[in-house]
Chains A and B, each alone.
Chain A
Amino acid sequence: MKRNTDWFRAAALLVAGLCSAATASAQVTLEVMNPRGEIPPPKTLGISPRGGNLDGKKIVLIDNGKFGASNFLDALANMLKQKYPTATIVMYPKPAAQTITDLPKWYPTVKQQGDLFVFGVGD
């Protein structure tokens, strides 16, 4: 009986060992390549300093040409005039991309229009 028990124990250990070996041998590691394009990052810039309040400021509202943006900016313009009567509101619509060949040259012109800008509504 003991002999049979020993055999059973040995067989069980063997099966367990084989299973363990099988598990170890089947472990698969795949090496794969990254499909993304590398992107040289642009130089990071801070945003312009600000402070104080809007009294006496020239505020440029830029309509990006998307439908409805002018309605929203007009609403803001009316509120600005009421709450900051000494401020000047300048409506300065951005030419639609379809109507200008060199939009990057247009952006610097915003600075000549006033002290602060509000751009909307994207999209």
Chain B
Amino acid sequence: MPGLYFTTTEFLDDAKSAAKDRGMPEIRTLALPADKYYVGRASQQQLQPIADLFFDKMVDALTRPLTPEEAKPSQVQELHENALIKVSGRDFLDASERVNDLFLSNHWADGLPIVPPTPELVKAMEAGTTRSPKDVLAQVAPKSGTATVEKIAINAVMAGAKPEYFPVILAAMEGFTNKHYDLTHVQASTGSFTPVVLVDGPIAQELGFNSGIGMLGHGWRANSTVGRALRLALLNIGQTWPQVNDMALTGRLEAYTFYTFAEDTAKSPWEPYNVSQGFQVGDSTVTVSSSGNPVIFGGGAVAPWTAQGVIDQVVTQIRTRGVVWPHAQKHILVLHPDCAVELANHGYTRKSLQEYLYEQTRVPYEKLAKQVSFGQGTEEDFIRASIADGRIRPDRAQIFLDNLKPGGRVPVVQGPDDFHVVVAGGSPGYDLLFTYPGTNWAHQTVKITGATLTKAGE
């Protein structure tokens, strides 16, 4: 069927890249001027001058006979990305600088200096796991690049990670590439989401992850380089690049290392987070999730706070946001240890806190949006459709149906388990809420296994 695709100038490379990925590199595309389209799109009247400008081009694109290349484009050849690359310099520093220049110009780096991934260093990295270098973990979105253990090791070397961190990185990559983790959206969306990487269990302490003051900051090699290794592996194996097919409009707030931290299981009044996800006490795990801008609660070192007050603030924050895609929504609440202990002293378990959050954040039926922001229909229509097609689980559907009426209180998530409660931070500390405003799930916990250089994670 002859067709035409309208995009905007800022998304033209993205459109062409996607067309090539799907085997139709010659699809006809017209790019509207971004600087005029986005400001004018509120009304047809404002867009009329652009429509006038592009009408004849549209007719031409729909009717002009094909060129031979459009009719039968050359088969895209597979690029073999396994050859060793030789880079010479007048000394080691010069050669290393040239490697950095080459990698960045090829879009293989993140803009910070990388460690040149020599075969010797990669082999040393691979020694951190029992897995074979040629093992294939998965295909990485958006371009479905093949993630072997070796490819991930190359990226881990570039990031400056130690071989003992490697099993954590592999487990995290398994989480990111799980079919239930919406990696394409996280990697490419204009929404500018940042992955969350939570390390839990004894391996966190053994590797020196920071879970206290400054847990999301710099200064701890494990936090920094595990996060950066994942940044580079997703960039290189999934093959993304800003302004080409990674269209995060602001970039990511933790662009180089993601939100990578560990739970402070020693100071938590509750069982480790990963136990709440079905793992055993003593298991080491990594949880990968995703977040928009996190919100901070509590008084920190400058203002008084109460644990109940913090929870009330969290409830208000979520209720104000309203019911947005309840089939997929998840929240990670990171409580600093003092707040968690206070809550425990008031009788809260992790489970009862989850149930409290679930109940208190429910939104009055009358406040459901009359027009969803992403298409046609009301929020009630969307929730009913989500029930009908099974995205809201059958065992949770009746609760929604019972409340889709005047006086009802509609849940913002499918169930209490969609509030993930983690303990980390300093004393004093703040409390953090990570929310992924995506439309599909992006939250996976994976057991760390195959470690050869640590006691945990074997």
A binds B: yes
Query: In the bound complex, how far is the Cα of B239 from the Cα of A122, in angstroms?
Result: 21
User: Which residues of the other chain, A, contact B48 by a CB distance below 8 angstroms?
Assistant: 75
Q: Cβ of A26 and Cβ of B239 under 8 Å apart? A: no
Q: A39-B79, A122-B5 are in contact. Are A71 and B65 (CB under 8 A)?
A: no
Query: In the bound complex, how far is the Cα of B116 from the Cα of A36, in angstroms?
Result: 14
User: Which residues of the other chain, A, contact B377 by a CB distance below 8 angstroms?
Assistant: 99
The interface size bin for chain B is 35 or more
User: Which residues of the other chain, A, contact B7 by a CB distance below 8 angstroms?
Assistant: 120-123
User: What is the 8 Å Cβ interface bit string for chain B, positions 76-100, against chain A (1 contact, 0 not)?
Assistant: 1111111111111111101110010
Q: Cβ of A71 and Cβ of B75 under 8 Å apart? A: no
A45 close to chain B: CB less than 8 A: yes
Q: A38-B81, A41-B75 are in contact. Are A33 and B117 (CB under 8 A)?
A: yes
Q: Cβ of B6 and Cβ of A50 under 8 Å apart? A: no
Q: A28-B94, A42-B23 are in contact. Are A123 and B81 (CB under 8 A)?
A: no
User: Which residues of the other chain, A, contact B374 by a CB distance below 8 angstroms?
Assistant: 65, 96, 98-99
Q: Cβ of B78 and Cβ of A35 under 8 Å apart? A: no
Q: B140 CB to closest chain A CB, in angstroms?
A: 6
Q: Cβ of B85 and Cβ of A32 under 8 Å apart? A: yes
User: What is the 8 Å Cβ interface bit string for chain A, positions 99-118, against chain B (1 contact, 0 not)?
Assistant: 11100000000110001111
A43 close to chain B: CB less than 8 A: yes
User: Which residues of the other chain, A, contact B145 by a CB distance below 8 angstroms?
Assistant: 36-39
Q: Cβ of A35 and Cβ of B76 under 8 Å apart? A: no
**CB-nearest residue of chain A to B235:** A35
Q: Cβ of A99 and Cβ of B70 under 8 Å apart? A: no
Q: A38-B82, A54-B59, A118-B62 are in contact. Are A43 and B90 (CB under 8 A)?
A: no
Q: Cβ of B41 and Cβ of A72 under 8 Å apart? A: yes
Q: Cβ of B95 and Cβ of A28 under 8 Å apart? A: yes
Q: A42-B23, A120-B6 are in contact. Are A50 and B63 (CB under 8 A)?
A: yes
B162 close to chain A: CB less than 8 A: no
Query: In the bound complex, how far is the Cα of B48 from the Cα of A110, in angstroms?
Result: 26
A85 close to chain B: CB less than 8 A: no
Q: Cβ of A45 and Cβ of B6 under 8 Å apart? A: no
A30 close to chain B: CB less than 8 A: yes
Q: How many residues belonging to A are interface residues under a CB distance threshold of 8 Å?
A: 61
Q: Cβ of A121 and Cβ of B8 under 8 Å apart? A: yes
Q: A32-B118, A36-B237, A111-B1 are in contact. Are A51 and B63 (CB under 8 A)?
A: yes
A48 close to chain B: CB less than 8 A: yes
**CB-nearest residue of chain B to A70:** B44
Q: A38-B82, A120-B6 are in contact. Are A33 and B119 (CB under 8 A)?
A: yes
User: What is the 8 Å Cβ interface bit string for chain B, positions 1-44, against chain A (1 contact, 0 not)?
Assistant: 11111111001001100000111111110001000011011111
User: Which residues of the other chain, B, contact A39 by a CB distance below 8 angstroms?
Assistant: 78-79, 143-146, 239
User: Which residues of the other chain, B, contact A79 by a CB distance below 8 angstroms?
Assistant: 51-52, 55
Query: In the bound complex, how far is the Cα of B247 from the Cα of A31, in angstroms?
Result: 33
**CB-nearest residue of chain B to A37:** B145
Q: Cβ of B238 and Cβ of A72 under 8 Å apart? A: no
User: What is the 8 Å Cβ interface bit string for chain A, positions 38-70, against chain B (1 contact, 0 not)?
Assistant: 111111111111111110000100000101110
A95 close to chain B: CB less than 8 A: yes
Q: Cβ of B2 and Cβ of A47 under 8 Å apart? A: yes
B108 close to chain A: CB less than 8 A: yes
A5 close to chain B: CB less than 8 A: no
Q: Cβ of A33 and Cβ of B118 under 8 Å apart? A: yes
Q: B248 CB to closest chain A CB, in angstroms?
A: 12
User: Which residues of the other chain, A, contact B86 by a CB distance below 8 angstroms?
Assistant: 29-31
Q: A79 CB to closest chain B CB, in angstroms?
A: 5
Q: Cβ of A95 and Cβ of B239 under 8 Å apart? A: no
**CB-nearest residue of chain A to B25:** A44
User: Which residues of the other chain, A, contact B253 by a CB distance below 8 angstroms?
Assistant: none
Q: A58 CB to closest chain B CB, in angstroms?
A: 11
B439 close to chain A: CB less than 8 A: yes
B151 close to chain A: CB less than 8 A: yes
Name A residues whose Cβ lies closer than 8 Å to a Cβ of B: 23, 26-54, 59, 65, 67-69, 71-72, 74-76, 79, 83, 93, 95-101, 110-111, 115-123
25 A-B contacts, Cβ less than 8 Å apart? Answer: A28-B90, A29-B86, A32-B85, A33-B117, A33-B154, A35-B108, A35-B236, A40-B146, A44-B23, A44-B24, A44-B74, A47-B27, A49-B71, A50-B63, A65-B374, A68-B37, A72-B37, A96-B375, A98-B325, A99-B385, A116-B62, A118-B4, A120-B7, A122-B7, A122-B11
Name B residues whose Cβ lies closer than 8 Å to a Cβ of A: 1-8, 11, 14-15, 21-28, 32, 37-38, 40-44, 46-48, 50-52, 55, 58-59, 62-66, 70-92, 94-96, 99, 103, 108, 116-119, 122, 139-140, 143-147, 150-151, 154-155, 158, 190, 232-233, 236-239, 247, 325, 372-377, 382, 385, 389-391, 439
Q: A35-B232, A99-B375, A117-B3 are in contact. List 10 more A-B contacts (CB 8 A).
A: A30-B92, A33-B119, A33-B122, A37-B145, A37-B151, A43-B75, A49-B2, A71-B43, A93-B375, A100-B389
